[in-house]
């Protein structure tokens, strides 16, 4: 069973993205669906987030 973690930046704990180690990401409102991410993709996502390079 995967342990999912919610972002500490979520304003109310319900509208957020959750991460599962070695599994991927999912929307907290739709936990049955998820996006699988490999190590390289996850690293690229984090780098883009930290550099504020994601579309808004």
Res 53: pLDDT: 84
Res 8: pLDDT: 76
3 contacts: CB under 8 Å, gap ≥ 6: 20, 21
Res 22: pLDDT: 76
Res 47: pLDDT: 92
Res 1: pLDDT: 64
**CA dihedral defined by 44, 40, 23, 51, rounded to 10 degrees?**
-10
Segment 1-56, tens digit of pLDDT: 678 888 777 766 667 888 888 778 888 888 888 888 888 888 898 899 889 887 76
């Amino acid at each position: 069973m995967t342990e999912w973690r919610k972002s500490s930046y979520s304003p109310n704990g319900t509208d957020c993205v959750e991460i599962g180690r070695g599994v991927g990401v999912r929307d907290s409102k739709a936990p049955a669906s998820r996006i699988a991410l490999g190590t390289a993709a996850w690293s690229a996502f984090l780098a883009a987030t930290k550099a504020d390079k994601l579309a808004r």
